[in-house]
Amino acid sequence: MELRTALFLIGMIVIVIIAFISYHRSRQQTYKLPKKMHRFGHKNDDEVDPLFEPRQGPLVTARSSLNEKSVPKMEGSDEVNYQNKQEVDPAPLVIDESDMREPESLTLNLQPSNQMVDQGPQKAIEYVALIRGVEPITRDRVLGVYRLHEYTMEKPNRIYGFNIANGLWRNLEQEEQSSEYRDICLTIQMADPEGPVSESELHRFSQMSLEVAEELDRPIVFSMDFDEGITHAQELDRFRKEMDTILIVSIIARSEHGLTMAAIHREAEKLGLRYSKEKIYERIRMNADHQVDVLFSMANMFKPGELVKDNSDMHTSGLTLFMRLVSVTSPVDVYTDMIKTATGLAKRLNAILVDQETHPVNESMTVSQTKAIMKIAGSMDARNIPAGSELAKRLF
């Protein structure tokens, strides 16, 4: 009797263990709407995580490379080297007569690329809802469900699909009707010039994402939980305010008669500045998409800042040159160009170049300013929001 009882108990224990394992596995595979927001879950080694690390500019992803592991994080020694690189004193700004010549070329004449690029979600500035899938789903099916549950949002929000044909994340609003997708992403920008996303808006976005996932009968995960999302949005907005810097130098007339508009226009055009429809001068650069990037501007020191051309006898006491650091790539180079241009123009107009405190610009000041620019640019790189990038333009 004792042996029979022992065997019975052992059998019951084995059955309970098997039932527990089966139940645990079924819970992992069965989709349930979460009661709270969850992070992106762990993935199998052979599974592609479509939310790869935030990219700096367009990234073309070859289908053959989709199973490669993520780029490893910066090792300790590499991080020290990067910090040391940021702390190196910038080269002194040397200006001589050769800098006064007219520049040979001020724009890049690049042909726009016809190669399709990745438009995927950007976790550096977006709160992301990932709706996973295995079976293909059409663009019209996704957009139909999305429109049915779409809420009005104040912050920019987007919907992406992982295109099966080309292995790229694409904005569904811009795709062809026949396109098919594996995974879907809904995103909302966590901060912009109007401030951080509010709790009520992030709640509406989360609820909308859950409703879309339920309608599509697919599992959903979020890039972070709700409270962490609010905290991250507020911190991102503080970062935005700290980084947004305008660099200014001014050209002051030596003579009480000021600077004539005729002389200003003549010398500005010799230095390759472009006269804009706002009636100010700009240094421009043409990017690869044939879009004009404004590097820095020059305006009348006095409101409304216009440098009119229809009255060459007009005078002004000074000019102001300014650049927005976060809006330009290679901000140190742009700052150097602005200082050289301002120095050249001051010499040509027999004027004085001063900083915001009306102190004469000298080498010590430019070196100090260059260090400050390097520090801000390094901080932006560390956040995967490089100065002048599309992400920076969206955030700032």
Query: Residue ranges of the domains in the chain?
Result: 126-241, 244-395
pLDDT band at 213 (very low <50, low <70, confident <90, very high): very high
pLDDT of residue 314: 84
d(CA 116, CA 61): 9
Q: Look up residue 137 and give its amino acid.
A: I
| H/E element, 205 | helix 199-216
Q: Look up residue 233 and give its amino acid.
A: A
Strands in 238-337 per DSSP E: 246-253, 259-260, 274-275, 281-286, 292-300, 315-316, 318-324
pLDDT of residue 178: 85
Task: State the average pLDDT over residues 205-212.
Answer: 95
Give the number of residues written for the chain: 396
pLDDT of residue 53: 41
3-state secondary structure labels for all residues of 344-391 = HHHHHCCEEEECCCCCECCHHHHHHHHHHHHHHHHHHHHCCCCCCCHH
pLDDT higher than 60, residue 64: no
pLDDT band at 370 (very low <50, low <70, confident <90, very high): very high
SS3 at position 126: strand
Contacts of 42 (CB under 8 A, 6+ apart): none
Task: State the average pLDDT over residues 357-366.
Answer: 92
Per-residue pLDDT tens over the stretch 103-140: 433 333 334 444 667 678 899 999 999 999 889 999 99
The answer regarding whether domain 126-241 maps to CATH 2.60.40.10 reads no
pLDDT band at 75 (very low <50, low <70, confident <90, very high): very low
Buried residues in 192-222 as b, exposed as e (16+ CB within 10 A): beeebbeeebbebbbebbbbbbeebebbbbb
pLDDT of residue 189: 97
Identical fold at 126-241 and 244-395?
Answer: yes
Decide if 108 contacts 285 (C-beta within 8 A).
yes
Task: State the average pLDDT over residues 45-49.
Answer: 41
User: In the predicted model, what is the mean pLDDT of the chain?
Assistant: 79
Query: Quick one: fold of 244-395?
Result: Cell Division Protein Zipa; Chain: A, (3.30.1400)
Q: At which residue do the structure tokens 């399709």 appear?
A: 116
pLDDT of residue 1: 55
d(CA 204, CA 153): 8
Buried residues in 81-104 as b, exposed as e (16+ CB within 10 A): eeeeeeeeebeebebeeebbeeee
Q: At which residue do the structure tokens 């469900």 appear?
A: 145
pLDDT of residue 100: 46
Phi, psi of 18 (to 5 degrees): -60, -40
pLDDT of residue 39: 40
Say which residue, 163 or 109, is predicted with more confidence.
163
Range of weakest confidence among 2-11, 207-216, 302-311: 2-11
pLDDT higher than 60, residue 183: yes
pLDDT higher than 50, residue 207: yes
User: What share of the chain has pLDDT > 70, as a percent?
Assistant: 70
pLDDT of residue 23: 52
d(CA 196, CA 235): 9
pLDDT higher than 60, residue 224: yes
Q: Look up residue 119 and give its amino acid.
A: Q
Region of residue 370 (left: phi > 0; alpha: psi -120 to 50; beta: else) = alpha
Say which residue, 55 or 369, is predicted with more confidence.
369
Per-residue pLDDT tens over the stretch 273-328: 999 999 999 999 887 667 889 999 999 998 888 998 877 678 899 999 999 999 99
pLDDT higher than 80, residue 351: yes
pLDDT higher than 80, residue 391: yes
Cα 328 to chain centroid, rounded: 12
pLDDT band at 6 (very low <50, low <70, confident <90, very high): low
pLDDT band at 63 (very low <50, low <70, confident <90, very high): very low
Task: State the average pLDDT over residues 210-233.
Answer: 95
Say which residue, 367 or 1, is predicted with more confidence.
367
pLDDT of residue 295: 96
d(CA 185, CA 159): 6
